[in-house]
Amino acid sequence: MDTRYDAYEGYGNEGRVLGWPGGGDTMHKFSDLFPTATFNLRPPTLRIDTMVPLGPDKTIIEFWGLGIKKDTPEERAERLRDHNAVWGPFGRNVPEDQIAVVGQMMALKTGRNSSYILHGREEHSAHDDICLRHFYGEWSKCMNHSAADPFNTQVAVAAE
């Protein structure tokens, strides 16, 4: 997924001037590496998320914020500020993602959806759930089962 923040309605001057090698300060690139890594490039920082499954209902998720090794102390401080403003524990974005994760955890543990549901969207933007559809698509190929019907129950239902 590739978007530009300055293409969003209402985008204002956030004062970000520090970019990333190969890109400007307003781009946003998002890519998955199946099955357990996500690369999220929002200059001036890169975030890599990794997942370590511990069991069928438990996963460690780690969020790694990366900068550039040759940063000056001032550039490093700016990357840290910007990273944490969006992806830190009090950031604008990561707490939202964690709400979704907690909702998924509740659904997996109890079989019931969270009472607060975030609906996915299909609009080729930062809010698109194309990444999830990509994951399920790759899973289906690897497992030779449809992610929509992992236990092949739909055939039996159709036969009935």
Partner 1 sequence: MAAKKPRTKSAAAVKPASKKARTSGFETLAEREKAVRELIARTCLVMDDYDFNAYLDLCHADFRYIITTYSPELRKDITWLDHDKPGMKTLLDVLPLHASDHFLRLTMSRHLSVYTIDYSDNDTRAATVSGLQVFNTAKDGGVTELLGVAKLKDTVVLESGKALLLSREVRLDTRMLGETGSLIPF
Q: Which is nearer to partner 1, 36 or 93 (CB)?
A: 93
Q: Does residue 144 touch partner 1 according to CB under 8 A?
A: no
Q: Does residue 118 touch partner 1 according to CB under 8 A?
A: yes
User: Contacts with partner 1 in 68-107 (CB under 8 A)?
Assistant: 80-81, 84-85, 88-96, 98-100, 102
Both tokens of 2, joined, read 């590739």
Closest distance of CB 142 from partner 1, Å: 30
Contacts of 127 (CB under 8 A, 6+ apart): 121
- Number of Cβ within 10 Å of residue 43's Cβ equals 22
Q: Does residue 33 touch partner 1 according to CB under 8 A?
A: no
Residues in touch with partner 1 (CB under 8 A): 12, 14-15, 80-81, 84-85, 88-96, 98-100, 102, 115-116, 118
